[in-house]
Chain A
């Protein structure tokens, strides 16, 4: 068994030598046969003839020997791949288009579904993340706020048997070090925070339940990133002192998960009621983290799915166009004795080559796209750091496109093998010999493609116009000419009102003295951004109706309005989350037209015939696409800002674009058809 394998491998490796030895052996055999016949009394010429006749065709002997060596399939494969490569190089336009379509389709789909998988589908990095909830303090009107630490302690005391409650309050932390102060995102948490979340530390220990009971020494848990960035991943980080203006923290541990998530598991709770704030509201943690990202991501995923579909249709159509042009070549090969299996293998090899190239391009596109999104949209999408190009997704989209390629790639082999060889040779010129079925199939594909692409273009157009509308919103001031400096007065030095007010006054005066500064103002949050603080507002003596007494509240200095040039009563605040994501990418392709030179037809007639066919297909595709768009864009409505789902401008531009492309696509082959020399066309291809 082993020796057989070894023998086969040896045969393969020493192919040239084997072939030479085989030829020599057969020649030796033939010569000996001739000699024997001469000895038996035949003339040399007659002996040679007889020996040849007995020997049979030399190629057949060699073939059967090769078969017996058991390496035929591998050798043929090599030949098929080489042949396939040559024939693809001879059709560079086709090959390039297919590889591009495959690469973009696979790449976009892989990138998009990697995002979807990393952000939405993969659970958060906590055990039982779906059972984690954020607990808010709620009042009778349904408004919610973060509970205070004493409130939390009461709640925990009351609900300890039922549920694990832990406390965290996110805040910025200034950390002083050798290279200056650094502002970090942090959170103050109760001692059992990490036990409740179920995230063990990579290094050191978690905070003990005793931590957080006050005292001079506070303990901190570092995120993995901070540990790497600031401490260079030093294993002896434990016990070092982190200097902050508020207090000194001793590093006790560095945590596996980032500190950003804040949660507690709750089934039921009740704490001590204070005035109207007597309830608790739960918000699931995954819901909170993912927030608005979910609908936009599913929308994008849908668009990219469409894109992949367009790519498949595109490739199928390219293949069909090529296969009709290849009818003659396949006919010739059939006539020369190539079996159906051989032709199938040949076409499979070509498909495999194209798919490999497309797949490679797809990987590059996917990795680049994911990196780009991570770099450009860190604030728009949550969990971006956890996203990486997904191999399974890549495999699935690759498989989908491969399936298409192989299916359509094989069609000509079966067709030509089933066809009368003579008929194939007689009619199978470049573009002639196109059967009615092929034409119908290709037309259907073109219509599908145009329709799908139109849906994508309309969808992207609507989103793009939304984006422009958002950007065009009159903020009332020139955002480019306003500069922001953030200050964080440390506690406890500025805890009392007087020293804080003094600091702010000095800051404002110092800023106003900077050359070029016309106004300087203070605010607790930037306009159009930052946090908000709901507060009760009672205007006049009449109490406002239930639930309407809450107003958003911002602390500003008097010259704030001069800086942002907003008249308070007419100001309209906008939610930045209205911004929609980018639209899909659209691939369009020129339809390849078979050229049929009608004998006697005027050139203009030929051109018009071709143009008319193309335009009719485009029109059908357009109408189908418009209907599909009208249906599909309804799901876009939530993402649009001051643009109707049936926005006439978007539709008009999309239609104009597609008409232009269709005319362009029709004119090129039409001109070519009209220019064709009938004699040359009849004489056959290349």
Chain B
């Protein structure tokens, strides 16, 4: 938190949301909280990008939404990962790993041009 929230790379928000939902169904506010906790405050997801992203993913069939009652007896819209969404998790994750490995390779470059 001291350095302020880190900027999310384009496309990563969806991966993080899917990962969060793969643990358990959650409402929008909860998803934002979980992401903040899991990244130890590095990622603060703004509602202005979170809810549109949720709508987008719902439209693509990765998520379903349903109204449930929270532990505090409040009505909230929960998002549930669909089987298609779970497939997306492994796909996006693979993509992310390839991207970050490549970025790391570039940053760690110490060799000489052959």
Contacts and interface: CB of A to CB of B under 8 A. Distances in A.
Interface in B45-63: 46-49, 51-56, 58-61
A18 to B, nearest CB: 10
Interface stretch (B73-81, B86-94, B99-107): B73-81
A4 interface: yes
B28 interface: yes
Interface residues of A, number: 26
A68 B56 contact: yes
Contacts of B75: 24, 28
A676 B59 CA distance: 58
A28 B56 contact: no
A26 B47 contact: yes
Contacts of B19: none
A33 interface: yes
A33 B59 contact: no
A119 B50 CA distance: 67
Contact of A64 (B52, B58, B60): B52
A65 to B, nearest CB: 5
Consensus secondary structure, chain A interface: helix
Given A25-B51, A64-B48, A3 B56 contact: no
B27 interface: yes
Query: Taking each of A22, A26, A61, which has the highest tally of chain B beta carbons within 10 Å of its own beta carbon?
Result: A61
Interface in B19-56: 27-29, 32-33, 46-49, 51-56
A33 to B, nearest CB: 7
A33 B55 contact: no
Interface string A54-88: 11100011001101111000000000000000000
Contacts of A29: 28-29, 32, 47, 51
B51 A61 contact: yes
Interface string A15-26: 000000110111
B52 A25 contact: no
A33 B29 contact: yes
Contact of A69 (B47, B49, B59, B77): B59
A590 to B, nearest CB: 53
Query: Taking each of B56, B67, B75, which has the highest tally of chain A beta carbons within 10 Å of its own beta carbon?
Result: B56
Given A4-B59, A70-B59, A28 B74 contact: yes
Contacts of A64: 48-49, 51-52
B48 A68 contact: no
Contacts of B84: 3
Contacts of B49: 64
Contacts of A55: 47
Contact of B48 (A11, A22, A28, A61): A61
A565 interface: no
Contact of A61 (B27, B47, B59): B47
A8 B48 contact: no
Contacts of B52: 64-65, 67-68
A7 B59 CA distance: 6
B41 to A, nearest CB: 13
Contacts of B58: 7
A284 B75 CA distance: 86
A205 interface: no
Given A24-B75, A26-B51, A28-B74, A68 B59 contact: yes
A113 B61 CA distance: 53
Nearest to B50: A29
A49 interface: no
A36 B55 CA distance: 25
A32 interface: yes
Given A28-B27, A60-B48, A21 B77 contact: yes
A53 to B, nearest CB: 12
Contacts of B54: 68
Query: Taking each of B29, B54, B75, B76, which has the highest tally of chain A beta carbons within 10 Å of its own beta carbon?
Result: B29
Contacts of B59: 4, 7-8, 11, 68-70
Nearest to A8: B59
Contacts of B28: 25, 28-29
Contacts of B51: 22, 25-26, 29, 61, 64-65, 68
B28 to A, nearest CB: 6
Query: Taking each of A7, A29, A55, which has the highest tally of chain B beta carbons within 10 Å of its own beta carbon?
Result: A29
A25 to B, nearest CB: 5
A28 B53 contact: no
B55 A28 contact: no
B47 A28 contact: no
Given A29-B29, A55-B47, 6 more contacts: A25-B28, A33-B29, A36-B33, A64-B48, A68-B53, A68-B55
28 contacts: A3-B60, A3-B84, A4-B59, A4-B60, A7-B58, A7-B61, A8-B59, A11-B59, A25-B27, A25-B28, A25-B77, A28-B28, A28-B74, A29-B28, A29-B32, A29-B47, A55-B47, A56-B46, A56-B47, A56-B48, A61-B48, A64-B48, A65-B55, A68-B51, A68-B52, A68-B54, A69-B55, A69-B59
The 10 A-B pairs with the shortest beta carbon distances in the complex, nearest first, are A68-B55, A68-B52, A3-B61, A32-B29, A64-B52, A29-B29, A25-B77, A7-B59, A68-B56, A65-B51
